[in-house]
Structure 1
């Protein structure tokens, strides 16, 4: 296991303050706010620690309310909404400086047999044929604002082996493309068998690239090249089938719409052998900086 992954797992191992109250900390961020995927993953950890072991997370719905402060701890309060025979519902509020910064609702279910079908996995190149983040980002270092931005982004993603199937938005800024993006990802090391851990790792990664397809549609490179101001607004995930986050997962992303300063991304996450594991939808603020159209 890499040191970066070990640090991430330590972040997800929340401190239990009271029965339904937890405290988490943050890692350094490339931008001066807490990474949204971290807050979502920590909130899901908090929710998952209040349900019986025989129930697995099958969905989450979340809103990002305020920017998080990386220097301050985050307190997660869990409300046990319902515990039924098959499903359990939890509501989690993340609080900093006395104010809510994030809200999550999650549902957990016991396993049961039922109807079974899925869409066909889209074609994608083999992940081993694609450059790693550490290999890819230096190619575009001259496009980033400020010295060392590429290095900081590499560090921020070092817990995950994430590989773009095609040129990322910051690699083709100025040239509109089809609003679709694919990345392969996996944890940079072997994980324990706890299903909640794998779901939380996937939740963490899901906020990294989902709005890329919105940027591609408009030929924008994103915050890294200074032609977009953006932030996540809401996030939803449905976990369909078991998977391991330390094995290759294909994140197939597209954007059906952008309007009113918002862009919508939707995606499916597939195991390497073609099983549909997760569906994801996210909306975010996508604006040109002031003075730049």
Structure 2
């Protein structure tokens, strides 16, 4: 396991304080003083999963980002055991810093059982990961200045997840693009293949990358514009099949709607065999204070 991956795994772990109450550390991933949404999402999933028998696997979660998190403070996760039925378990997680509620999540678990199967096919025009280069290599090639936090994260520091975006130009420069993109990803190192929860928690962490950005693509708008205010408002994941972060998977992203200073995006994760592994959904704030003003 690489040092960066080991550090991420340690961060996604949570420590028990008392029954059904856990604590997780914070980090300033983007250098903006705010906790990355994927971090609190992954830690919440880890906390709730520690209260469920291991034979019951997470199959869906629905969450809301209530307040920005403070990177200088730990997070307290309080888990409510809503129900343990014959095949399903339900949990509610409330995340706090001091006495401020910053995040809430509902999660559902199920024992493994056989059933009907079908899934949407992977789009036919998806090219394999060998056709693209990593974010780290892309940042080195960009001819114009980028935020210091971005260059530090990709050049000075090592990434726990290797991501190869298919359309970096759509992310970096505003244009009239289709509200569609995709990226390949895998762990930068090796995760225990038997620890299926760790793979699902790690995907929850990285699922927050690029999802909201997709809603900006048709609007001549760069996400790096200092006048842009962007924040995740809610986030949902449905886990359909086992996900292996030691192998390449592709995150296919599209945005069907933007309105009211909010963007809605959906993601589908496929493995290289074309199986649909997970589906995500997120709505977030996409407010340009220069073009439309601020309602604050």
Output the TM-score relative to the length of structure 1: 0.94
Q: Could you give the per-residue CA deviations for residues 64-115 of structure 1, whole angstroms, max 9, x where no partner exists?
A: 0000011100000000000001000000000002111000000000011111
Q: Is 2:266 the partner of 1:275?
A: no
- Aligned residue number for residue 140 of structure 1: 142
- Aligned residue number for residue 204 of structure 1: 205
1:26-175 map, 5 Å: 26-30=26-30, 31-122=32-123, 123-140=125-142, 142-145=144-147, 148-154=148-154, 158-173=159-174, 175=175
Closer, same or farther in 2 for the Cα pair 1:33/1:253, shift >3 Å? same
| Equivalent pairs, count | 289
Classify the secondary structure of the residue corresponding to 2:238.
strand
What is the distance in 2 between the residues matched to 1:157 and 1:80? Answer: 37
Classify the secondary structure of the residue corresponding to 1:44.
helix
Q: Could you give the per-residue CA deviations for residues 104-144 of structure 1, whole angstroms, max 9, x where no partner exists?
A: 00000001111111111113221122111111123336243
Classify the secondary structure of the residue corresponding to 1:58.
strand
Residues 250, 269 of structure 1: 8 Å contact kept: yes
What is the distance in 1 between the residues matched to 2:139 and 2:75? Answer: 31
Closer, same or farther in 2 for the Cα pair 1:252/1:16, shift >3 Å? same
Q: Which runs of 5+ in 1 are unaligned?
A: none
What is the distance in 2 between the residues matched to 1:157 and 1:266? Answer: 28
Classify the secondary structure of the residue corresponding to 2:279.
strand
Closer, same or farther in 2 for the Cα pair 1:87/1:157, shift >3 Å? farther
- Aligned residue number for residue 6 of structure 1: 6
1:216-227 map, 5 Å: 216-222=217-223, 224-227=224-227
Residues 170, 177 of structure 2: 8 Å contact kept: no
Superposed CA RMSD in Å reads 1.6
How far residue 3 of structure 1 moved from its aligned partner, in angstroms, is: 1.0
What is the distance in 2 between the residues matched to 1:63 and 1:157? Answer: 29
- Aligned residue number for residue 236 of structure 2: 236
What is the distance in 1 between the residues matched to 2:133 and 2:292? Answer: 32
Q: Which runs of 5+ in 2 are unaligned?
A: none
What is the distance in 1 between the residues matched to 2:166 and 2:92? Answer: 36
- Aligned residue number for residue 181 of structure 2: 181
Output the TM-score relative to the length of structure 2: 0.93
How far residue 291 of structure 1 moved from its aligned partner, in angstroms, is: 6.4
Residues 62, 235 of structure 2: 8 Å contact kept: yes
Closer, same or farther in 2 for the Cα pair 1:272/1:50, shift >3 Å? same
What is the distance in 1 between the residues matched to 2:7 and 2:92? Answer: 26
